[in-house]
Structure 1
C-alpha cells in the first residue's frame, strides 16, 4: 500500500485502493490517515505503524462530503487512537472524471471498501500481535452506512459512534414508506435519473468560510449545494432506513450525538446557525433505539448538523461528552468495557 502526502498537509497521508462490491464491480476509495509525527513523539506517544497504538478509529463522511476536519483527527489522537478517514467511492478524493458524484445504487456496495480500509489498518500493526481494535464513526448518511455495515459484520469493530446519523426521514416512518412507494418504480428502470428537488444550501452556508461559517471547504470535493439526487441513490437510502426501523441488534456500545433542535424550511433562518438544518433530530433520537442493545444518546444544544463543525463552545461540549463516553466504554488495554 503506497501512501502519499494528503491535501490537508504534513500531518496527513492518503492512499487510493480498489475494492469489488457484491455486484462484482470494482470501485475506488481513498483512505486518509493522521500522522502527527513530532508532536505525538514529543508527548510520549507513537503512531500505529510504530506498533504502540492498540486502538484505531475509522471515520465515514456524509453524502456529498469528504474528510477535512483536522481537529477531529487531533482529538482522537489525544485519546490514544490512530485516526483514519475513508473518502468513499464517488466522493471527495475518490471522485472519478465523468462519474456521478455521490451515487450508489445499494448501500451494501460500500461494504467492500469499509472492510478493505479496516484490513489496511490491521496491516499497519507490525509483528504477530493482535491487530488494533477499531472503532467506527460515521456522520449523516455515513452514519447510516456505518450502522448497516456494523450490523452485517459483527465482531470486527469495538465501538460505533454516530454524528447526526440519517436513520429516518423527516416526520415519521410513514413519510419514508410513502417516499419508497414513489421512488422505487423509477429507481428500478431509471436508477440514474435525477429527481428535481428544491436546492437548499443552508447547511453549507452555516459551515463554509466562503459564506458564514469557519471551515475551509474545497468545492472540487464538496459542492455547495450537494450532488444531484438520483432515484437509485434515494431508493438505497430509504431501503437502508427501513432495515434500521426493523432493528439492527448491533452488539457493540453505540454513541449517537445530535443537535438539541432542528430548523428546516425553504428560507434561511438565523436559528440555522445553531440547529440541525438537515435532519429531524427528534425522529433520529427515537430511531436510534433500533440500533442495538447499548445505545447512548447525547443531545448537544446549539449544534449544527455535523456536531463537530459547530461553534467552538458547542463542539467543545461535544468533544467532552465523547471523551466521557470513551472513558466508560474503552479500557486502557484497548478492549471494550
Structure 2
C-alpha cells in the first residue's frame, strides 16, 4: 500500500483503497492518516497544551458525513494529544474519490461501505503504533455516524469504542415521517434507484461553516459541494432502512458516546439561530434514538453546537472537546481487552 502526501499537507498522508463488495462491484475509497513531523505543543481545543502520555496506545478511524470529506485538522491533533493515532476514511463516491465517473454520495445499501471500512481498519492495525493490541475506536459524523453504528452491530468485537457526532439516526418527525417517506420512495428505488428526487436545496449548514461564507473552515468545494449531492431514491431507501434498524435497537455491547447540539434550527430561510444550532437534524429525535444503540450510551448535548459540533464556534467546540476528553479518560484509556482482527469474525 503506497502512502503519499495528502491534500491537507505534510503532516497527513493518504492511500487509495480498492475493494470488492458482496455485490461484486469494485469501489474506491481513500484512507488518510495523521503523521505529524514534530510534537504538536500548541494549545489544544480542550485547553491542554501537550500530548497525554498517560493514555493507552490505540487508534481511531473517522467516518465523514454525506456529501462530505475529511478536512478537520484540529480533530486529528486532538486525538494525537490523547495518545491515539488518527485515521479518516473518505468513503466511496465521496470527497477524495470523486471524479467524472462517480455518482456523488450514492450508495444502494449502507452495508456496501463494510468492505472499505474493514480494509481501512486492517491497515490501521498494520500501521498504527500499538494498533494491534490497543483500543481501537470508530468515530462517525451524521450519515457516517449511522454507518458506523450499523457497521459495529454487524461486526461485534472489532472496535472497543464508538463515538458519534450528530449521528443521523432518524428522520425529522421520528418514525411517522420515516414510514411515510419509505412508502413513497420504495417503488421509485426499486424501478429507478438513481433517480434524483426533487427536493428543496438548503445550503444553510455550509453557510455556517465555510470560510467563503460566514464560517471559519476552508472547505474544498470539489470535495464538499455547498448544496450537497442530489438526493437519489436508492440512497434514501438505504438510509431509511438504516433508521429502521436503529429504531428496533442495535444492542451494542461497547461504550457509545453521542454528541449533539442542544438545539435544532429548521426552515427554508436563513435564521441567525443557525449559527448556534443544528440546521440539519432534529436533535431531540436523535437524542431519543441514541438510547436504542446499546447498553452503555453517553449523551452529551453541546450548547451552541452546529451540526458538526467540532466545527462550532471556538468556545463551543472547546466544550465539546473537553467532554470528549473526559469520556475518553473514563471509557477508553483503561480498556485492556485485546482487540479482534477483521479475520477473526
TM-score (norm. length: structure 1) = 0.94
Cα distance, 1:53 vs structure 2: 7.3
State which of 74, 82, 88 in structure 1 corresponds to 2:77. Answer: 74
Q: What is the correspondence of 1:251-262 to structure 2 with a 5 Å cutoff?
A: 251-262=253-264
- Closer, same or farther: CA 333–263 of 1 in aligned 2, 3 Å: closer
Q: Deviations 1:303-330 (Å, cap 9, x if unpaired)?
A: 0000000000000000000000111102
- Taking a change above 3 Å as real, the CA distance of residues 40 and 209 of structure 1, as seen in their structure-2 partners, is closer
The structure 2 residue matched to 1:249, chosen from 241, 248, 251, is 251
Residue by residue over 1:147-196, the C-alpha shift from the partner in whole angstroms, topping out at 9 and shown as x without a partner, is 00000000000100000000000012010011000001000010000001
Residue 228 of structure 1 pairs with residue 230 of structure 2: yes
Match of 1:197 in 2: 199
Once the two structures are superposed, what CA deviation does each residue of 1:233-269 show, in whole Å capped at 9, x if it has no partner?
0000000000001110111000000000000000000
Contact 1:22 1:108 in 2 (8 A): no
1:22 aligns with 2:25: no
User: Residue 329 of structure 2 aligns with which residue?
Assistant: 327
Secondary structure of 2:116's match?
helix
Residue equivalent to 2:127: 124
Q: Distance in 1 between matches of 2:51 and 2:106?
A: 43
Report how many aligned residue pairs link the two structures: 330
- Cα deviation, 1:76-128, whole Å, max 9, x if unaligned, reads 0000000000000000001132211000000000000001100001111579x
Q: 1:133 Cα shift?
A: 2.7
Two-structure CA RMSD over aligned residues (Å)? 2.0
User: 2:105 aligns to what?
Assistant: 102
**Residue in structure 2 matched with residue 12 of structure 1 by the alignment:** 12
2:59–2:128 Cα contact (<8 Å) kept: no
Q: Within 1, Cα distance between the matches of 2:143 and 2:119?
A: 19
Query: Would you say the 8 A contact 1:66–1:92 is kept in 2?
Result: yes
Match of 1:58 among 37, 54, 61: 61
Question: What secondary structure is seen at the aligned counterpart in 1 of 2:291?
Answer: helix
Task: Encode CA deviations 1:176-224: one digit per residue, 9 max, x unaligned.
Answer: 0110000010000100000010000000000000000000000000000
Give the corresponding residue for 2:341.
Answer: none
1:39 to partner: Cα distance = 1.6
**What is the Cα deviation at residue 334 of structure 1?**
5.4
Given that residues 57 and 135 in structure 2 are in contact (C-alpha distance below 8 angstroms), is that contact kept between their aligned partners in structure 1? yes
Alpha carbons of structure 1 residues 206 and 116: separation in structure 2 relative to 1, 3 Å = same
Matches within 5 A, 1:116-155: 116-125=119-128, 130-155=132-157
Secondary structure of residue in 2 paired with 1:161 = strand
Alignment match, 1:86: 89
Tell me the secondary structure at the aligned position of residue 39 of structure 1.
Answer: coil
Identify which of structures 1 and 2 has the higher relative contact order when contacts are C-alpha pairs closer than 8 Å and 6+ apart.
2
Residues 18-67 of structure 1 show CA distances to partners (whole Å, capped at 9, x for unaligned) of 01112111100000000012226997899xxxxx9730000000000000
Contact 1:125–1:132 (CA<8 Å) still a contact in 2?
no
Gaps of 5+ in 1: 47-51
| 1:156-167 alignment, distance < 5 Å | 156-167=158-169
Deviation of 1:17 after TM superposition, in Å, equals 1.0
Distance in 2, Cα, partners of 1:145 & 1:215: 24
Unpaired runs of at least 5, structure 2: 43-49, 339-345
Residue aligning to 1:179: 181
For the residue of structure 2 that corresponds to 1:327, the secondary structure is: helix
CA distance in 2, matches of 1:251, 1:30: 29
Q: Is the 8 A contact 1:101 1:227 kept in 2?
A: yes
**Structure 1 53/245 Cα, relative in aligned 2: closer, same or farther at 3 Å?**
same
- Output the TM-score relative to the length of structure 2: 0.92
